[in-house]
Amino acid sequence: MRQKTLVTIITILSALLLITNVAAAQTPPRFFDAAAEPHAVPRLTIFYPSVGTLRDLLALKEQGLLPAEKFEVVGVYQAKEKTNYKQSQKFVQDKGLTWIKFHELSAELGPADLFKPNAASREFEDIFKKSDGMIFFGGPDIPPTTYGQKTSFLTRIEDPYRHYLELSFVFHLLGGSQSDGFKGFLETRPGFPVLGICLGCQTLNVGTGGTMVQDVWADVYGKTFVEDIISLGQPNWHTNPWPRLDPLDRKVLGYMLHPIKLVDKSKFLAELGFKPGDQPYIMSAHHQAADKLGKGFKVAATSLDGKIVEAIEHVKFPNVLGVQFHPEFPMLWDAEPKVKFTPQDKDLIGIRTYLEAHPPSVEFHKKLWQWFFEKVKKH
């Protein structure tokens, strides 16, 4: 009788434990609800914390550019985004990355209420107050309706809820021409560092009232055929067109390495120490770019021909920077010959080796990250 009672108790406890674990697994992570303020180590908030993004951060850590033992990273996302962030949470758990946390927002946002106080405003402010810096990472095209344009056939809208979250957050951070009377959060902390990468750069621009070139090749260069785009030459590709003609050659780099021109008196010269004639090579993968600049922004870098905006910086908030390229990609640090630019290239190249052959490209990427993380630590 006692044995049966004991078995029954164990069965009940096991069932309760299973129910508790299932409930815990179904509860969305909301780190900032109970986050300490003030906190002991610098806290970096990132948007789009996919597994790929987390691998990018780990690569920066391996290069000694992200001092992870002295940082706390919180990935913020909208509940309706198409990315499966449970995979990201499992990745963090499996790797034992206790310094990476997550926060899911569920407040409803839509095109009509992005650029004004809305259902997410209080939560945005709480996240801002408990953060020391933010990064907006790359991704798909922004819906043109958010910047007052019709949608080109060349624009692909893939994840609108992600854009609604990030655009509205940027507006709350910086303000914008959509509402001149609105005071952004950075008015109270003007030195707060914000970095936008590729889509993130575009989000900084659109979130503050700017617009977009919906297709660089068609709208800027007037090219609608791949062969004509190839004839523009590599500095004007911005992403590699060759895979569209020859998708079977897996060695052809899907991205593009090309030089950029640093604008005089930009942050790259004034703070990072580069010279006006420096033309660092960067890695890009975009078909859109900033057109009319958002409120408070100026151009910090362009393509060599001056037609494409490659970086923007804020004139009022000194640590807000957007770059149209990808300084976070792990392949930037890989010297092993693995890729080529065109199917006709006989020799494979290593990205790190290629950058080293075109100074100050490696130094440019290192100084960019050192500058940003130093600002996060000091803020």
Q: Taking the domains of the chain in order of start, what are their residue ranges?
A: 30-220+260-337+362-378
Taking domain 30-220+260-337+362-378, whether its CATH number is 3.30.413.10 is answered by no
Q: pTM for the complete prediction?
A: 0.93
Question: With helix as H, strand as E and coil as C, how does 223-238 read?
Answer: CCCHHHHHCCCHHHCC
**How confident is the prediction along the chain (379 residues), in pLDDT tens digits per residue?**
555 555 555 555 554 444 444 444 568 999 999 998 888 899 999 999 999 999 999 999 999 999 877 899 999 999 999 999 999 999 999 999 999 999 999 999 999 999 999 999 999 999 999 999 999 999 999 999 999 999 999 999 999 999 999 999 999 999 999 998 999 999 999 999 999 999 999 999 999 999 999 999 999 999 999 999 999 999 999 999 999 998 889 999 999 999 999 999 999 999 999 999 999 999 999 999 999 999 999 999 999 999 999 999 999 999 999 999 999 999 999 999 999 999 999 999 999 999 999 999 999 999 999 999 999 998 7
> What is the rounded distance in angstroms from the CA atom of residue 342 to the CA atom of residue 217?
18
